[in-house]
Amino acid sequence: MRHPEEQTRSGPGFSRRDFLKGSSAAVAATALATAPAETEAATAANVTSSQAANVTLYVNGQEHTLKIEPRVTLLDALRNDLNLTGCKEVCDTTTCGACTVLLDGKATYACSRLAIECQGKEVRTVESLRDGDQVDEVITGFVEHDGMQCGFCTPGFVMATRAFLDQNPKATLDDIKSGLGGNICRCGTYDGVAKCAMELAKGGDR
């Protein structure tokens, strides 16, 4: 999704969030058509105003009801309201992938979604890949192949890799290089990421 508004982001003026805010009624109405009953607090009537309303998110297996404005992005809701700070704000323009989460299993830039339109969907953040000493193989692979330096883009890259491997368990190196092209790392850790993905893509055509 690209809007011309995204070109000029900072400071006063028309922004993407205004655009999302304006279109949120339509977006939310679509989402709500299939949403479970428990999300009824956020009705189409509510989202036509900018007032905070109850928004229920299903995150990492737990339900959370937040009182937030319809314009709040999924990224801000996760980071600021639920303190799930593994997803990072880096570009804020749907470009870099640092905020990648799984939305119904699909890799999604959390900065590109309003929280309200994610009701009734299963949200998984990177925090769900670790439970004490139990760690997802993608995290283990990133550590083993040193797919990180400063680590700020890493959780987003981990989630993109998890989703990619779920959908492409037999990926080749070329598949990986296009399939993980949605994430940017400034420190330059791509080789470790690719090696991790290659190792986990068992049975792939090397």
Burial class (CB in 10 A: 0-12, 13-18, 19+), 131: exposed
Task: Kindly state whether residue 149 participates in binding other proteins, applying the rule CB under 8 A.
Answer: yes
Min. distance of Cβ 133 from other proteins in angstroms? 9
Min. distance of Cβ 67 from other proteins in angstroms? 11
Min. distance of Cβ 3 from other proteins in angstroms? 12
Contact stretch for other proteins (CB under 8 A) within 12-20, 24-32, 41-49, 57-65? 12-20
Q: Which amino acid is at 29?
A: A
Find the binder of other proteins among 25, 27, 66, 143 (CB under 8 A).
Answer: 143
Site for other proteins in 24-63 (CB under 8 A): none
Min. distance of Cβ 45 from other proteins in angstroms? 21
State the number of binding residues for other proteins (CB under 8 A). 69
How far does Cα 132 stand from its chain's mean position?
A: 22
Find the binder of other proteins among 28, 158, 163, 200 (CB under 8 A).
Answer: 158
Task: Kindly state whether residue 80 participates in binding other proteins, applying the rule CB under 8 A.
Answer: yes
Residue 46 vs 183, nearer CB to other proteins? 183
Count CA within 13 A, CB hemisphere, residue 83.
Answer: 0
Say if residues 142 and 158 touch (Cβ distance below 8 Å).
yes
Task: Kindly state whether residue 178 participates in binding other proteins, applying the rule CB under 8 A.
Answer: yes
Residue 29 vs 184, nearer CB to other proteins? 184
Distance CA 119, CA 31 (A): 8
Task: Kindly state whether residue 134 participates in binding other proteins, applying the rule CB under 8 A.
Answer: no
**What torsion, rounded to 10 degrees, do the Cα atoms 85, 91, 96, 102 define?**
40
Backbone Cα Rg of the chain = 18
DSSP character string of 35-80: --GGGTTS-HHHHTS-S-EEEEEEETTEEEEEEE-TT-BHHHIIII
Angle between helices 190-200 and 137-144 (to 10 degrees): 130
Task: Kindly state whether residue 19 participates in binding other proteins, applying the rule CB under 8 A.
Answer: no
Q: Which residues of the chain form contacts with other proteins (CB under 8 A)?
A: 6-7, 9-13, 15, 17, 69, 71-72, 76, 79-80, 83-93, 95-96, 98, 125-127, 129-130, 135, 139-140, 142-144, 146-155, 158, 176-178, 180-194
